[in-house]
Chain A
Amino acid sequence: MTMPDTSAIRALVQQHKRYDKMFAILGLLCLLVGLFTLLALLVDMGIRGVPRIDWGFFTEFPSRRAANAGILSAWVGSALVMLVTAAAAIPVGVAAGVYLEEYAGKNWFTDIIEINISNLAGVPSIVYGLLALGLFVYQFNLGQSILSAGLALALLILPVIIVATREAIRAIPSQIREGAYALGATRWQTVHDHILPYSTSGILTGVIIGMARAIGETAPIITIGALTFIAFLPPAPFSGNPPAGLFDWLFSPFTVMPIQMFNWTSRPEEAFQINAAAAGFVLVFMTLGMNGLAIWLRYRLRKNLKW
């Protein structure tokens, strides 16, 4: 039996470990670059904007005087648009995802649909804006309203939700599905009693990530015609004189946070820049908050699923 050449082995291992270390350092540097950039932006915005944030900032309408300008109409507009987006995108996206995973046959037609969904995710957002302008604003005559904006954004994040739904459903082990069928369940019973409940955490995560993206989308909203200087809120149901209808707010003109920021940034006064920074900070905070919510919800809902 030959003696193993331990010194040669040792040298080889040392060399490979060096490569290991180099790669680790490289990876860490790349990570830090991205991290520092984000931190720098946040810190800059924070330093400039946070002092500006007070209760008035949230409750005042925009004004020509920077000190009095607030983001009331902007964040209310953003919230209402998000509401419409969610109400439109979630049912359609989840249903489409469930259909593709559970009901669709394996044929060329389904393949085409799948390819197109991935493509849709890559379409530039302004194109969605144009689509919404032509279809919702003019063709369906919904006007330059919250409804149009919400539907446009819904189309934008639809692929995200569909993919998230499909991934969540695929994560369910086939034995669970087979176990349900083996007990005599129909397809709908299996979907309703098992597939949907167990994929909820994945779907919800996808939804929130989609929404976090939508809240910051500016191009489609501009294209539709969100106004930049709105000093009023969409009419709440049953308010005002004559009383507004239940759904009048959907057809009201509006603005959203990114547009408000854009508007302030294009003003020369330094004070408005500060306002923009403050609004930006709030927007980032909302986005990070939504992502955080997604992570927490995912953790809570996944606790009972042992796979």
Chain B
Amino acid sequence: MEKVHISSQFDADLEAVRSRLLQMGGMVEQQLRNAMAAYITGERELVEQVRSTEDSINMMEIELDDRCTHLIARRQPTAGDLRLIMAVIKITTDLERVGDEAAKIGRIVGQMHDSGIAKLNGFSDIHVAANMAVGMLKDALDAFARVDVVAAERIIKQDRQIDNEFRSLLRELITFMMEDPRTISTALGVVWIAKALERVGDHAKNIAEYVVFVAEGTDVRHSGGPADTAL
């Protein structure tokens, strides 16, 4: 059974920061889902929603960083508490970037639908990659909530899969473009979307690495295999 701090206020402050971070994560997840849903349905409202929510996510980044700064100044956290707060600060940055990627996807989707070039026929579709990316993000946030090292390590390995998925998507799209130059605009749009999703996977991996740091104190970043050579 986890012991609590003698200062109940400290416990409350730490818990508030954690749940705010998970809240931000949930919002970012939803942004991604909405952006990908807009890709399929072309609904203008979804695109608009993604665009307008972007601001709140940025505000949350500022708020979380401010809270963490004050926690460090006020409480001089050590050991696990210190690692947790460091991780929160870093995860906040990664989440904000995922939010940016989601916004980018929204913009591109908006432009594609406006120009009427949304659909590629016979394209295996980007949804596998999308689900993989969103799934990784969700799993990473869950792993953080539960401080689950096993799940985190699984996610770190999964990033390779997304990279492979992106590479095969790229090959397929290049084939499309070579066969029919009229599809180039659409295909390029899909490439940018796929790239954004690949980056989401990277951020999810980062989050998983911080989870390992919080739980065990080891920094496992940059210790994997050769850097991904996707593009």
Contact, chains A and B (beta carbon distance below 8 A) = no
